Amino acid sequence: MRYYIIAGEASGDLHGGNLVKAIHRQDGAADVRCWGGEHMEAAGATVVKHYRELAFMGFVEVLIHLRTIFRNIAFCKKDILAYSPDVLVLIDYPGFNLRIAAWAKQQGIKVVYYISPQVWAWKEKRVEQIKRDVDKMLVILPFEVDFYKKWQYDVSYVGHPLIEVVSHEKNDVPVTPLSQKPLIALLPGSRAQEIKVKLPIMLQMVQHFPEYRFAIAQAPSQPDSLYKEIIGDMDVLLVNGNTYNLLKQAAAGLITSGTATLETALFGVPQVVCYKGNAVSFWLATKLVNVKYISLVNLIMDKPVVTELIQNELTAANLKTALTRLLTDKQYKAELQQDYRSLWDKLGSNHASDNAATAIVALGSGK
């Protein structure tokens, strides 16, 4: 069968890559065309457009790039029609993918959504659109099943794909030492605009913790020059394409909100969650978003497991205080590790990609 998959961000490409592998295991004649990146391409998919051309963050940034976004949508529709897939698979990225879902439904194309948009956080009424346009919703967070049930929409919980990714990394991939000093991992995000805002604040910690080596996880879509301009002459390690190896040996992490907070927790790394964005975008978000926490760790556990420094709270002074606690408070670290173990248990088995592929292949074949 023919599968068209759309992922618009780095995490979507990671999970999309494992999904493509699982589809090939279950459908020996599978042909996959996608919007994604290196992971999906390595798994055997033909990449039409790289996610780095699609990743616009925040309300203001989206407005600035509206013309590009509409051009991409038009091209995507044309490409899908030319390819004529048996099933269209959408991975998160709701601003773009929900538009494509509505159009695809009108064309009679079967639509699967893998990794639900965060409709439980904001724009909850989008569930009505999802019910209308999506033939099958595959969710990866346990609480999403009950959320959708409230809207009389049956969804399938397949487990979280990070469980299989991290399990493989921890059990099958040896550690490559990066430093003789203990490491503190800096994950400032994957987009240039967020790196420029948050990384300078994170790097102010270098002078306060000289017994540690600070290491920045470089986003695969960003050039060395972006980081080196910010680092200057500081003795900081730049780790390219090896984030998991860094997390496996980090004593602590300063982590940008998003999937990285969950990855860091699954590796058992004590962390401070950092977020600071465009002031107007953040103000709008506070009016529209309905969640108690910004990190996936705290959302899934439904309590403040990890410290969140958001917008004006993300200062060098606050970060120093939070990082000191991570490194020195033994009771806090023990409680954190217990919560991390509970988090792992909540997310289920390590077969999310195979479970998702089974549902996708079944829908495409009409079973």
Contact predicate 142/300, CB 8 Å = yes
At 120-173, the pLDDT tens digits run 877 788 999 999 999 999 999 988 999 999 999 999 999 999 999 999 999 999
Q: Could you tell me the CATH number of the domain that includes residue 35?
A: 3.40.50.2000
Give the number of residues written for the chain: 367
| Residues 59/284, Cβ–Cβ less than 8 Å | yes
Long-range own/partner contacts, residues 334-339 (CB < 8 A, 24 or more apart): 336/270, 336/305, 336/306, 337/268, 339/301, 339/303, 339/305
Residue 2 pLDDT greater than 60, yes or no: yes
The Cα-based distances of 244 to 59, 141, 187, 328 in angstroms read 31, 22, 11, 24
Cβ atoms of 52 and 221 closer than 8 Å: yes
> Same structural domain for residues 188 and 151?
no
Per-residue pLDDT tens digits for 6-18: 998 888 999 999 9
What is the model's pLDDT at position 287?
A: 45
Q: 103 and 241 in one domain?
A: no
Sheet architecture: strand order including 237-240: 237-240, 213-218, 183-187, 250-256, 271-275, 307-310
**pLDDT above 60 for 255:** yes
Residue type, 59: F
Stronger pLDDT, 337 or 70, i.e. the higher one: 337
pLDDT single digits (tens) 269-320 = 999 999 886 554 554 455 445 667 889 999 999 999 999 999 889 999 999 9
- For residue 44, give every residue at least 6 positions away whose Cβ sits within 8 Å of its Cβ, in sequence order, or none: 20, 21, 24, 32
Q: How high is the pLDDT of residue 290?
A: 60
pLDDT of residue 59: 47
Q: Which domain holds residue 78?
A: 2-159+351-365
Residue 220: predicted pLDDT: 78
Are 306 and 264 in contact by the 8 Å Cβ rule? The answer is no
- Residue 68 shares a structural domain with residue 19: yes
Give the model confidence (pLDDT) of 21-77 as tens digits.
999 999 999 999 999 999 999 999 999 999 877 655 544 455 555 677 788 899 999
Q: Is 1 helix (H, G, I), strand (E, B) or coil?
A: coil
Q: Is the dihedral of CA 295, 300, 303, 306 positive or negative?
A: negative
Q: What is the DSSP letter of 182?
A: P
- Do 8 and 25 lie in one domain? The reply is yes
Report the pLDDT value the prediction gives residue 193, as an integer from 0 to 100.
84
- Whether residues 36 and 183 share a domain: the answer is no
If asked whether residues 186 and 147 sit together in one domain, one would say no
**177, 133: one domain:** no
* Same domain, yes or no: 106 and 230: no
Whether residue 113 is found in the same domain as residue 177:
no
What is the secondary structure of 248-279 as a DSSP string? Answer: HTEEEEEEESSHHHHHHHHTT--EEEEE---H
- Evaluate whether 128 touches 153 at the Cβ level (below 8 Å): no
CA distances from 81 to 20, 46, 52 (A): 21, 16, 23
pLDDT attached to residue 298: 94
- Shared-domain flag, residues 338 and 355: no
pLDDT on residue 65: 54
Q: How far apart are CA 157 and CA 254, in angstroms?
A: 30
**pLDDT, tens digit, 9 for 90 and up, residues 172-187:** 999 999 999 999 999 9
Q: Are residues 146 and 264 in the same domain?
A: no
Q: Which tens digits make up the pLDDT trace of 198-246? A: 999 999 999 999 999 999 999 877 899 999 999 999 999 999 989 999 9
Are 24 and 102 contained in the same domain?
A: yes
Give the orientation angle of helix 161-172 with respect to helix 259-266, to 10 degrees: 40
Per DSSP, the three-state class of 35 is strand
Domain count for the chain: 2
Q: Average pLDDT of 246-266?
A: 94
Query: Helix count (H) and strand count (E) of the chain?
Result: 17, 13
